[in-house]
Amino acid sequence: MPKRSIPLSDTQIKKAKPSDKDYKLSDAGGLHLLITVGGGKLWRLAYRFDGKQKTLAFGTYPAISLADARQRREDAKKLLANNVDPGAIKKAQKASTVAVIENSFEVIAREWHGKFRHTWSDVHANTLMERLKRDIFPYIGAIDIADIKPPVLLTVLRRVESRGALDTAHRNRFMCGQIFRYAIATGRAERDPSADLKGALPPVKFGHRAAPTDPKDVAPLLRAIDDFSCTFIVKSALKLLPLLFCRPGELRMAEWAEIDFENERWNIPAERMKMKEPHIVPLSRQAIAILKDLQPLTGSGRYLFPSLRSTQRCMSDNTLNASFRRMGFEKHEISAHGFRAMARTILDEVLQFRPDFIEHQLAHAVRDANGRAYNRTSHLAERKKMMQVWADYLDDLKSR
């Protein structure tokens, strides 16, 4: 009679010590434990398939117990009984797992972040990654990006909304949309589920003036502008709107000949002003930096913000408001003209500048005690200081 192998016991396995070379402890049915020189205890199954001797690894002891190893042996034998190679199945499963990991939302999001980080400030780049790690990765980071459906993404966004961070939830939807579109462009997804969620979150309420006038609501709007994906020309105009709080038409039609870098001011001619009086807009350091970044791109032409179709025309009157709609803000929440109300309210109630300084900077009709209109240079030094304080205040709000 053939000699029968004696099944292993946990006691025998625990007592097994390394030797000067690898050796095996056999169980039954081809299952054995390989004891390595280094002290490792590795489960292996010896089997034959298609006339060839093969070995299948089951893992290490004690992570894989004796009972677990025996169950895996029986599973493998069922596959063999159906003329299926268990080793080939394991390789296919491993390849599938690797593919899922490589195409997971987190892997692609980190790739996207690394690809575009150089286009952002360090503060903005860090903010995006912090939001990903806090709000997104724990819930859908491990999922194949092609398998993420709108209801799954909405659940993630509503977690953020439920903690009272509705603005952050909107910004997260926008950021996820950028990541999904990057996955589509690189062939790892077919559609952007965030696009189906427009209107699924409550709108951020900024009040009846179509602009936030409460300082706590201003920072989310400024960050939304920074996060917005658009052309450099449009982004420059959007960034200047809150800094200058001029009428949108005045900004759209601004010409390089009107910008006086030496005296740090923008001279708007009378024919372009509502009151038909020339107007001076003092330029803060932040505004000058934006203009100097823009100058190499459009400075050889007439307009700061030329039309995409022709450099002989300025940006269309719908571009700025359409940008806010694309950010997810509705008409009653924000408009390009609304930044004037925002500045007037906060400069008066929070920063406590004289109302006549503010009204004059808004290019409203301001008259002296004798009923005479002030000229364009009235209170210019005070207005210059006010515009710099305003720009610094907005930077401080955005960084909180």
* DSSP code for 61: T
Does any domain span residue 347?
A: yes
pLDDT bin (cut points 50, 70, 90) of residue 122 is confident
DSSP 329-341: --TTT--GGGHHH
CA pair distance 307, 315, nearest whole angstrom: 4
Check residue 124 and give its pLDDT: 73
CA pair distance 224, 273, nearest whole angstrom: 29
Domain identity same for 231 and 139: no
Single out the residue in 197, 225, 256 at which a domain terminates. Answer: 197
Please report the sign of the dihedral spanned by the C-alpha atoms of residue 380, residue 381, residue 382, residue 384: positive
pLDDT bin (cut points 50, 70, 90) of residue 372 is very low
Domain identity same for 172 and 224: no
Given 374, 376, 379, 385, which residue is catalytic? 374
Q: Is 385 a catalytic residue?
A: no
Check residue 371 and give its pLDDT: 42
Does any domain span residue 2?
A: no
Single out the residue in 32, 54, 86 at which a domain terminates. Answer: 86
Does any domain span residue 93?
A: no
**Region 85-107 average pLDDT:** 73
Task: Please check the confidence at residue 123 and state whether its pLDDT lies above 80.
Answer: no
Check residue 243 and give its pLDDT: 96
CA pair distance 243, 352, nearest whole angstrom: 17
Residue located via tokens 């900024």: 206
Task: Please check the confidence at residue 96 and state whether its pLDDT lies above 60.
Answer: no
**Region 302-315 average pLDDT:** 90
Domain identity same for 225 and 365: yes
Given 131, 239, 265, 337, which residue is catalytic? 337
Does any domain span residue 167?
A: yes
Query: What digits encode the pLDDT tens for the residues 231-279?
Result: 999 999 999 999 999 999 999 999 999 999 999 999 999 888 877 788 9
- Residue count of the chain: 400
Domain identity same for 315 and 357: yes
* DSSP code for 257: G
Check residue 382 and give its pLDDT: 93
% of the chain residues with pLDDT over 90? 37
- Total number of domains constituting the chain: 3
Task: Please check the confidence at residue 100 and state whether its pLDDT lies above 60.
Answer: no
Task: Please check the confidence at residue 4 and state whether its pLDDT lies above 70.
Answer: no
Check residue 95 and give its pLDDT: 60
Single out the residue in 141, 164, 197 at which a domain terminates. Answer: 197
Q: CATH number of the domain at 75, please.
A: 3.30.160.390
Does any domain span residue 285?
A: yes
Does any domain span residue 4?
A: no
Domain identity same for 227 and 371: yes
Element (H, E) at 56: strand 52-60
pLDDT bin (cut points 50, 70, 90) of residue 5 is low
Q: Is 340 a catalytic residue?
A: yes
The parent domain of residue 165 ranges over: 105-197
Q: Is 94 a catalytic residue?
A: no
Given 94, 198, 205, 274, which residue is catalytic? 274
Q: CATH number of the domain at 372, please.
A: 1.10.443.10
Q: Is 47 a catalytic residue?
A: no
Query: What mean pLDDT, rounded, does the chain reach?
Result: 85
Residue located via tokens 């200081």: 385
DSSP 35-49: E-TTS-EEEEEEEEE
Domain identity same for 19 and 138: no
Given 131, 340, 344, 398, which residue is catalytic? 340
Does any domain span residue 25?
A: yes
Does any domain span residue 97?
A: no
Domain identity same for 117 and 223: no
Check residue 242 and give its pLDDT: 94
Check residue 303 and give its pLDDT: 95
Domain identity same for 388 and 247: yes
**pLDDT higher at 377 or 5:** 377
Query: What digits encode the pLDDT tens for the residues 153-194?
Result: 999 999 999 888 887 888 898 889 889 999 999 998 999 999
Given 247, 279, 360, 384, which residue is catalytic? 247
**Residue 184 burial by Cβ neighbours in a 10 Å radius (0-12, 13-18, 19+):** middle
Query: What digits encode the pLDDT tens for the residues 31-49?
Result: 999 999 888 899 999 998 8
Domain identity same for 385 and 342: yes
Task: Please check the confidence at residue 228 and state whether its pLDDT lies above 50.
Answer: yes
